[in-house]
Amino acid sequence: MKVGVLGARGRVGTAVCLAVGEQDDLELVAEVDAGDALEQLVESGAEAVVDFTHPDVVMENLRFCIEHGIHAVVGTTGFDDARWDQLRGWLAEAPGTGVLVAPNFSIGAVLMMRFAAEAAPYFESVEIVELHHPDKADAPSGTAARTAALVAAARRAAGSGPIPDATTSALEGARGAEVEGIRVHGLRIRGLVAHQEVILGGPGETLTIRHDSLDRVSFTPGVLLGLRRIREFPGLTVGLEPFLDLD
Ligand SMILES: NC(=O)C1=CN([C@@H]2O[C@H](COP(=O)(O)OP(=O)(O)OC[C@H]3O[C@@H](n4cnc5c(N)ncnc54)[C@H](OP(=O)(O)O)[C@@H]3O)[C@@H](O)[C@H]2O)C=CC1
Ligand SMILES: O=C(O)C1=N[C@H](C(=O)O)C[C@H](O)C1
């Protein structure tokens, strides 16, 4: 498969270019970064792209790829319901084209989200702490937002009661942000890469599920898997789980 990388000179894009270049069954044909023309993708015959760019530009990149029937494996964050709807609309006009958007391509992080959702109905309390490098543009992280959504869905399905919290007075931000009723706290610290803890609590006990990406190579096995299986998944897929046969 001929592969183009968007955001090729970025932190993750650099690691992805190296990983793709090492595979016998994948050929890196285009390395596109800010200011480069997307037409390179067509001229180089790219059959799939990997996008690790910026929330402000990812939709324009995807519109171009879908219009040209190029599959996309997307790590860039910043998606919401309006963006999902827009992508589904574009893909409806491009049958056979697949777009995978995963908030985290690290296998450990996918499992951390899965374990957190499985544990959630068994505990009264749950909060999420995400910790990242200070050059990250968005907060909370896409991973934390998705974890919160999965945990909230699992609690709803189990008929869990409200999460206990007696706070009546707080400095703004002191209790973090709320995503689907789940508190999410974001830390930005030089030296970190990408880390998350989901802390669950019940009477007399806590369970902490923690994942650490210590290096950006942690994202490349999931990206390679996405590329190798994208043809099997036309349309929009959110999350790596189906590609890992987890669903
Ligand atoms: N899903 C996952 O597993 C992961 C997702 N991410 C997400 O991926 C995104 C990128 O992260 P990261 O690599 O750390 O960020 P970087 O800023 O290091 O890399 C982004 C790169 O994209 C470039 N770029 C900007 N606009 C365009 C464009 N229109 N076309 C092509 N390239 C462009 C940037 O150039 P310039 O700097 O000149 O603007 C930069 O080189 C973020 O949204 C992040 O949250 C990160 C890690 C893992
Ligand atoms: O910006 C990052 O670095 C990361 N972004 C993704 C996110 O927002 O969840 C994935 C990972 O946390 C690294």
Cα separation, 132 vs 119, in Å, equals 24
Give the Å distance between the CA of 77 and the centre of ligand 2: 7
Report the domain count for the chain: 2
Give the Å distance between the CA of 72 and the centre of ligand 1: 15
Token pair belonging to 122: 């068994």
Same-domain pairing of 33 and 73? yes
Same-domain pairing of 181 and 157? yes
The enclosing domain of 129 has a CATH number of 3.30.360.10
Same-domain pairing of 44 and 111? no
Q: Which are the catalytic amino acids?
A: 132, 136
pLDDT tens per residue across all 247 residues of the chain: 999 999 999 999 999 999 999 999 999 999 999 999 999 999 999 999 999 999 999 999 999 999 999 999 999 999 999 999 999 999 999 999 999 999 999 999 999 999 999 999 999 999 999 999 999 999 999 999 999 999 999 999 999 999 999 999 999 999 999 999 999 999 999 999 999 999 999 999 999 999 999 999 999 999 999 999 999 999 999 999 999 999 7
Same-domain pairing of 169 and 189? yes
Domain encompassing residue 156: 107-214
What string of DSSP letters covers 126-174? Answer: EEEEEEE-TT---SS-HHHHHHHHHHHHHHHHHT--PPP-------TTT
Helix or strand (DSSP H, E) at 88:
helix 81-92
Check if 10 has its Cβ closer than 6 Å to any atom of ligand 1. Answer: yes
Same-domain pairing of 112 and 210? yes
Check if 175 has its Cβ closer than 6 Å to any atom of ligand 1. Answer: no
